[in-house]
């Protein structure tokens, strides 16, 4: 019986981490449904980008208020997690504050955790006010109704509860240290929870111990719950921001990739010695490649990683000229739709024992409308705005390619423009031979 808490703790911990591992493998499987893309180049530049953008939060602070608050929560969460190491060791070994042996260092550590926890609470409250009271525009767009809104708030509540539990645990501990309860070593410095400790004056030691233990357990169980909530929420960015910024676009933002399959065909057409009726060499696949994207599996795995990384902050949408002028396009919605469809495809695969069974749906049309795609000015404002290097524009362009090259479904004005280019080398119906007339005009 003596070891019951230790055993219980080990079981909870294994279950929490095991379930998380299962979700990570699901995540990995879904992302790898995307097409392969070579991102093995420029490793040093990629590491630098990750260090600057994800670790250094350089793009978050473009908006100073949200940026500063986010840094508080981010730093708070990373640093306070050092405490989790102690909690896990204590939980498994049945010790109490095993790092107390660090002496002054321990005091400084605990004091830092406490101040950060206090600041995180302040930041989380401000975040909640921005979402629910001030109702900042980007948080109340149409795509944020229902689950995305609840999800955003739920995350804030969880963070608030975790920090409160942490401070309650410390406050009770500090009280127990003062009354000299068994097992509660004199350790730590409690700049914030020292104000909670007096609340326990006059309460029986046994009750305070119960409160301390409850807060301790709920805190660690809460952390494990949050870890497993990530996969079902928009909050995966706390992990995926790192790989996503690593694999982010390195070329000039204006450079769109040239489709290799098209290059092959164009080269063949331009080659006067090519035999158009020649059979493909033995072993080579002669089915023509599909141009562009109609569903998530046509996207690259980096684009799918983008979708899971998106935390729906809406900076992209608030900078989008189409969205600002009331068009249906929202770059954030493009990312949310991609993720939702990818989840649907993933579940389909699970249900059908590892193979996707056509469900008559696709990303294009069922999730993202033609109207949204054609409203884009390709201005790159969304790409520039994203604090974690997501590229919604690439998905929009890939889907336009499908509409035009596979379905000939461009707006008629654009068909006229393309017809002109084809016939006379300019988007307007002017004669190629008149190209230099301007030089003679006054």
Judged by the rule CB under 8 A, the positions of this chain that interact with another protein are 251-256, 258-259, 262-263, 265-267, 269-270, 291-292, 319, 321-322, 324-329, 371, 374-381, 384, 397, 399-405, 410-411, 413-414, 416-418, 421-422, 425-428, 430, 432-439, 441-442
Beta carbon nearer to another protein, 136 or 410: 410
Distance CA(7)–CA(330), nearest Å, equals: 50
What does the chain come to in residues? 442
Distance CA(200)–CA(207), nearest Å, equals: 9
Distance CA(223)–CA(161), nearest Å, equals: 10
CB of 367 to another protein, least distance (A): 18
Cβ–Cβ < 8 Å for 245, 388 = yes
Beta carbon nearer to another protein, 167 or 375: 375
Distance CA(226)–CA(17), nearest Å, equals: 11
Cβ–Cβ < 8 Å for 303, 391 = yes
What six digits make up the tokens of 246?
Answer: 């690593």
Beta carbon nearer to another protein, 279 or 439: 439
How many other C-beta atoms lie within 10 A of the C-beta of residue 336? 19
CB of 240 to another protein, least distance (A): 24
CB of 316 to another protein, least distance (A): 12
Cβ–Cβ < 8 Å for 123, 69 = yes
Beta carbon nearer to another protein, 201 or 434: 434
How many Å from the N-terminal Cα to the C-terminal Cα in the chain? Answer: 100
CB of 241 to another protein, least distance (A): 20
Which residue has 């219980």 as its token pair? Answer: 8
Q: DSSP states of 377-418 as a string?
A: ----HHHHH-TT---HHHHHHHHHHIIIIIT----HHHHHHH
Beta carbon nearer to another protein, 349 or 417: 417
CB of 75 to another protein, least distance (A): 26
Nearest to 194 by CA among 95, 118, 119, 122: 118
Distance CA(311)–CA(54), nearest Å, equals: 13
Phi, psi of 427 (to 5 degrees): -70, -10
Tell me which DSSP letter residue 368 carries.
Answer: B
Beta carbon nearer to another protein, 335 or 399: 399
Nearest to 84 by CA among 51, 117, 132, 35: 117
Beta carbon nearer to another protein, 232 or 430: 430
Cβ–Cβ < 8 Å for 151, 176 = no
CB of 407 to another protein, least distance (A): 10
Cβ–Cβ < 8 Å for 324, 141 = no
CB of 362 to another protein, least distance (A): 17
Beta carbon nearer to another protein, 210 or 266: 266
Beta carbon nearer to another protein, 296 or 320: 320
CB of 3 to another protein, least distance (A): 59
Beta carbon nearer to another protein, 94 or 411: 411
Beta carbon nearer to another protein, 194 or 384: 384
What six digits make up the tokens of 54?
Answer: 């994800």
CB of 331 to another protein, least distance (A): 13
How many other C-beta atoms lie within 10 A of the C-beta of residue 315? 21
CB of 392 to another protein, least distance (A): 13
Q: Please tell me the chain's helix, strand, coil percentages from 3-state DSSP, rounded to the nearest 5.
A: 65, 0, 35
CB of 259 to another protein, least distance (A): 5
**Bridge partners for 368 per DSSP:** 364
């Amino acid at each position: 019986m003596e070891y019951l808490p230790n055993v219980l703790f080990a079981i909870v911990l294994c279950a929490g981490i095991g379930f998380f591992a299962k979700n990570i493998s699901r995540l990995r499987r879904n992302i790898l449904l995307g097409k392969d893309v070579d991102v093995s180049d420029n490793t040093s530049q990629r590491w630098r980008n990750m260090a600057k953008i994800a670790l250094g939060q350089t793009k978050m602070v473009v908006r100073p208020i949200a940026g500063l608050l986010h840094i508080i929560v981010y730093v708070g969460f990373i640093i306070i997690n050092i405490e989790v190491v102690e909690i896990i060791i204590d939980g498994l070994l049945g010790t109490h504050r095993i790092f107390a042996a660090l002496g002054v260092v321990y005091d400084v550590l605990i004091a830092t955790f406490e101040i950060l926890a206090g600041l995180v609470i302040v930041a989380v409250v401000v975040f909640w006010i921005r979402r629910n009271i001030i109702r900042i525009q980007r948080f109340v767009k149409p795509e944020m109704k229902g689950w995305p809104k609840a999800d955003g708030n739920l995350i804030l509540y969880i963070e608030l509860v975790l920090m409160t539990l942490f401070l309650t645990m410390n406050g009770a501990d500090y009280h127990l240290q003062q009354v000299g309860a068994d097992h509660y070593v004199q350790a730590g410095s409690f700049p914030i929870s020292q104000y909670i400790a007096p609340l326990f004056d006059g309460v029986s030691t046994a009750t305070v111990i119960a409160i301390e233990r409850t807060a301790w357990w709920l805190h660690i169980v809460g952390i494990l719950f949050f870890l497993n909530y990530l996969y079902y929420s928009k909050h995966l960015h706390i992990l995926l921001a790192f790989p996503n910024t690593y694999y982010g676009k390195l070329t000039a933002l204006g450079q769109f990739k040239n489709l290799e399959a098209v290059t092959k065909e164009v080269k063949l057409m331009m080659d006067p010695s090519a035999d158009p009726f020649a059979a493909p060499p033995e072993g080579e696949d002669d089915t023509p490649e599909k141009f562009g994207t109609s569903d998530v599996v046509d996207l690259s795995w980096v684009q799918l990683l983008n979708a899971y990384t998106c935390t729906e902050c809406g900076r992209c949408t608030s900078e989008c000229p189409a969205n600002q002028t009331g068009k249906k396009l929202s770059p954030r919605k493009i990312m949310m739709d991609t993720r939702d469809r990818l989840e649907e495809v993933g579940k389909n695969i699970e249900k059908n024992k590892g193979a996707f069974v056509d469900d008559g749906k696709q990303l294009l049309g069922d999730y993202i409308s033609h109207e949204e795609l054609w409203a884009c000015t390709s201005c790159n404002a969304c790409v520039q705005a994203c604090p974690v290097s997501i590229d919604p524009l690439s998905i929009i362009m890939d889907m336009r390619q499908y509409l035009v090259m596979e379905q000939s479904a461009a707006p008629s004005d654009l068909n006229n423009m393309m017809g002109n280019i084809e016939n006379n080398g300019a988007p307007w119906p002017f004669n190629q031979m008149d190209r230099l007339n301007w030089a003679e005009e006054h």
